[in-house]
């Protein structure tokens, strides 16, 4: 609970100031819309390829060719995962959770896109199926698949508890990225970034504005499926908090594996589709 600081007296027009209507920061009416019909038809025709089971409290990586699908599945028990996405051919281009949040909201679902970092700023992936799409926003303000939380990490753990913990999602993602690329752990760490919290149920408290988590509604058989708009290296950590009902950096929480599957459609199923180009912004005039 946050301490309550002394507040100055409200001005006479306090109610009027609070009553000012909000304005959406980034209106999205001009964003190109994904061709969901094309994607869904391609998904129905796709064949399973690489499959990886990510152990509890560990991470794993798969490569997803452009025009293929990545399906992340709950297979044994309620479990959330932290997902990093990289351009498979240029690790400097990676998932930008902040801009994704600004464009699509705090939680993402079908037809929302996962955008890449500046100066690239293009869709890396599009969500095409979400078996938790029914959840919506609950009475606490919670929802699933958030792009607001950072990732559990050992530095914050030490700050708050004074203890070292080596299976935080941050640490797991570093090890998996290192294994997948041949980078050293020291080289991989700066590339690990804020995540898509797959299956995690989160929100903000209304009284203190603090980030909260609650037991995920995910159950075995639930999955989230992404269409790879560019060639991806996907790195997923099975969070040490399990379903995050009580804690997220723990050796005692009930944890389960997650599965990543690559599904590739026949080339004809994506006739006319092409990977999006990087941002056309001309930087030369602004320098």
Q: What is the pLDDT along the chain (287 residues), one digit of tens a residue?
A: 666 677 789 999 999 999 999 999 999 999 989 999 999 999 999 999 999 999 999 999 999 999 999 999 999 999 999 999 999 999 999 999 999 999 999 999 999 999 999 999 999 999 999 999 999 999 999 999 999 989 999 999 999 999 999 999 999 999 999 999 999 999 999 999 999 999 999 999 999 999 999 999 999 999 999 999 999 999 999 999 999 998 877 888 999 999 999 999 999 999 999 999 999 998 887 65
Task: Give the C-alpha separation, 107 to 14, whole Å.
Answer: 31
Q: For residue 83, which of 64, 59, 63 has the smallest C-alpha distance?
A: 59
Does the pTM surpass 0.85? The reply is: yes
For the chain, domain boundaries = 50-268
Instruction: List the structure tokens of 93.
Output: 């281009």
Task: Give the C-alpha separation, 251 to 163, whole Å.
Answer: 13
Task: Give the C-alpha separation, 81 to 143, whole Å.
Answer: 15
Rounded to 10 deg, the angle between the 154-161 and 169-181 helix axes is 160
Q: For residue 39, which of 125, 139, 99 has the smallest C-alpha distance?
A: 125
Q: For residue 55, which of 242, 218, 223 has the smallest C-alpha distance?
A: 242
Task: Give the C-alpha separation, 138 to 202, whole Å.
Answer: 10
Report whether 286 contacts 131 (CB < 8 A): no
């Amino acid at each position: 609970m946050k301490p309550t600081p002394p507040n100055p007296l409200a001005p006479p027009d306090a109610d009027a100031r609070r009553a000012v209507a909000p304005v959406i920061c980034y209106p999205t009416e001009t964003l190109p819309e994904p061709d969901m019909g094309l994607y869904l038809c391609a998904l129905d025709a796709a064949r399973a390829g690489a499959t990886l089971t990510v152990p509890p409290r560990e991470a794993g990586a798969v490569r997803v060719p452009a025009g293929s699908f990545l399906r992340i599945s709950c297979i044994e028990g309620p479990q959330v995962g932290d997902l990093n996405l990289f351009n498979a051919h240029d690790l400097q281009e990676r998932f930008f959770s902040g801009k994704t949040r600004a464009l699509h909201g705090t939680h993402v679902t079908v037809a929302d896109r996962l955008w890449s970092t500046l100066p690239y700023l293009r869709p890396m992936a599009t969500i095409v199926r979400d078996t938790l799409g029914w959840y919506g926003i609950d009475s606490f303000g919670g929802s699933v698949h958030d792009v607001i939380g950072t990732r559990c990490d050992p530095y914050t753990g030490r700050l708050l508890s004074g203890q070292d913990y080596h299976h935080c999602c941050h640490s797991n993602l570093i090890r998996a990225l290192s294994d997948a690329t041949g980078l050293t752990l020291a080289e991989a760490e700066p590339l690990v970034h804020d995540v898509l919290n797959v299956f995690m149920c989160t929100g903000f408290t209304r009284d203190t504005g603090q980030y909260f988590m609650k037991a995920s509604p995910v159950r075995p058989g639930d999955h989230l499926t992404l269409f790879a708009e560019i060639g991806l290296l996907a790195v997923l950590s099975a969070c040490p908090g399990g379903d995050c009902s009580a804690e997220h950096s723990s050796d005692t929480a009930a944890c389960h594996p997650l599965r990543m599957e690559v599904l590739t459609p026949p080339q004809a199923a994506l006739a006319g589709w092409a990977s999006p180009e990087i941002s056309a912004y001309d930087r030369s005039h602004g320098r």
